[in-house]
Amino acid sequence: MAKLSAYFKHMGFIRGIILKNKLSFLVIITLNVIVGALGLLIPVISKLQIEQLQNSNQEMFGLLYSSPLNLFIVLVFILSLVRLGQSQFEQITTRMRRKIDFQSSIVLEQKLLKKLETFDISFLNNPKNNSISDSVFSATYFFSDFLSFGETIIRNIMSLGILPIVFFVDQTLFATIAVFGILEIIINFLWQHYNIKMDTILELQNSSRSQLRWSLLSSLDKLIPMNAQESLFERILQDKKTDFGLSLKLNLAKDRVQMLMNIFKEIPALIVVTLIAIRVFDGSATLGDFTMISMYTTQLGAIFSSLSWMLRDSQSLMIKMSRINFFFSLKERILAPSHEKSIKIQGSVEFRNLSFHYPLLDEEEKAYLKEVITLNEKMLDRIKSYKYEQQQMKRWHELLVEHDEVPKEILQGVNLTIRQGDITALVGRNGAGKTTSANLIVKGYSPSGGEILIDGININDFVPGDLRQQISMIHQTPLLLRGLSVRENLLLGVNKTVADAEIWEWLKKIDLKEVIAGLARGLDTIYGEETSFSGGQIQLLAIVRVILQDRKIVIFDEGTNQLDAEHEAIIMDILKSLKKKKTIFIITHKMTTARHSDKIYVMDQGRILEEGRHTALLQIPNGIYRKFWELQVIN
């Protein structure tokens, strides 16, 4: 079983990034050491400045100056250079860190996308699985956190060099700072935990209210005719008043606790300042010592405060790394051959005794996910308000339960043949396994049993990406991407140069030419920003894209279900004209679409129960196809 301690087991790319940028890493480490050292130097120089104003020395470090003023000016100049150097070095490290972070995020996102290509469609469609993918993609910039955390450690280690200096000046001061520093770390940690509880209460309250507000606003077109909106408006206003009152109470409580914390943080500074002031008055310390110790006390306060935040940052980093590691530990779901050989197809497809059930996490993957959930829940409870993460953890728990269940057979002993040059239809009730059959052809899944043959070759011998380049598919909800132009949407997956004239020709054939020509910028009009289309128009545009892709196998998964009778007839005529060179597979609920096919298969509960042409299937007494035909057409 994989162990969470092996965070880098599936993250070898991190080592590659570090080796590739080893010089940059060395420079970043060196500059951070220098920045830390300069931070220690600033109070010392300030001390020397104060003592120079008091004593008017003309000599320092064995060097003789023409006047005390010149020596003071030199010290001012040195302090300015130190601060300027500190600022410039910090800017350099920030730029280098951003560059490395950008490179690492690109590498990680590429690997994530490649990994997703090895998953089956059920994994990609499952919202619970998507919560895992989303959490990983949101962590792609984790390298920035990694570098920032490392820089913070280096600078804090350097800054802790203050303690020996304070110990040398006054051991009582040292003990005071150390004790109060430890107490401040503990109190900061408790404050974070308290803050989390308050924020989580507010988040959960606002979430439940916002859902009702959103439902009301998005459903006004239905509520107003019912005259049901007024009571809901009143409820929302009352909820808003309640939320505001709760928010005031919680924020007031937080402010009071914050005030007490601020008072506590001032106590060590007051004690230190008082102790060093006593020494100044009795002559055992100088004003320069007072200035230096005061500045060091401020620096140490910042360090002690950051140490508690470092604990939070380290836990946040561990959460991100555990999620990424788990994602990469998932096994491939799509079987692929060891070779990369491209196999050109003609298009005939055969299912032989095919069976299928959705793949589940194996025992090792489930055990690892349980550890990830446990780690995430423990740490999230400490570092942030986590309404969203609570919901995410809930989905992950549901995922574990789901993958503990006995898998349901979606397809059972299916035998069918889709011939090149024919239009083949698959009809059946909802949930019969029709869409799953289509997804198996494009290697969206790997069969659980039996085999799929394309031109007599087992589908497992095809490279997934290479096979998909030769198959076009229109889904039940056709794909049209917002933010892309009409032309860009039509040319998705088209691997050849297509002239605008050809696009316009096909738009004319499907009766969309005038619609597109009437847009503000024609084919260059941005979908979703400058225009929108009806469901039927989106389906027609998706059909044009399939035609332009010009692939050997064309699959319509309810690809005409939103078309009126006139446009459906146009599309069927186009398919009939194309079928001589292609294999056309239509999944449909509409018997008026299926009737035009050369071969019809009827599927129910994962089995093929009837097959034949339209006229033959109508002759089967009590047949499913005949029943559908009578319900949809005759009755």
For residue 4, the model assigns a pLDDT of 44
For 341-381, what is each residue's pLDDT tens digit?
A: 788 898 899 999 999 988 777 777 777 777 777 777 776 66
SS3 113: helix
For the cut 80, the answer to whether the pLDDT of residue 294 exceeds it is yes
How much is the average pLDDT of 617-629? 91
For the cut 90, the answer to whether the pLDDT of residue 613 exceeds it is yes
| Structure tokens belonging to residue 73 | 């000016």
How much is the average pLDDT of 183-189? 75
For residue 508, the model assigns a pLDDT of 92
For residue 140, the model assigns a pLDDT of 67
Q: How confident is the model at residue 209 (pLDDT cuts 50, 70, 90)?
A: low
For the cut 70, the answer to whether the pLDDT of residue 131 exceeds it is no
| Structure tokens belonging to residue 626 | 């005949």
For 139-163, what is each residue's pLDDT tens digit?
A: 666 777 778 888 888 888 877 777 7
Q: Which long-range contacts (CB under 8 A, 24 or more apart) does 98-104 make?
A: 98/144, 99/24, 100/17, 100/21, 100/24, 100/25, 100/143, 100/147, 101/141, 101/143, 101/144, 101/147, 103/17, 103/20, 103/21, 104/13, 104/14, 104/17, 104/143
Looking at per-residue confidence, does 574 or 250 come out higher?
574
Provide the greatest CA pair distance for the chain: 119
Cα 290 from Cα 281, distance rounded (Å): 11
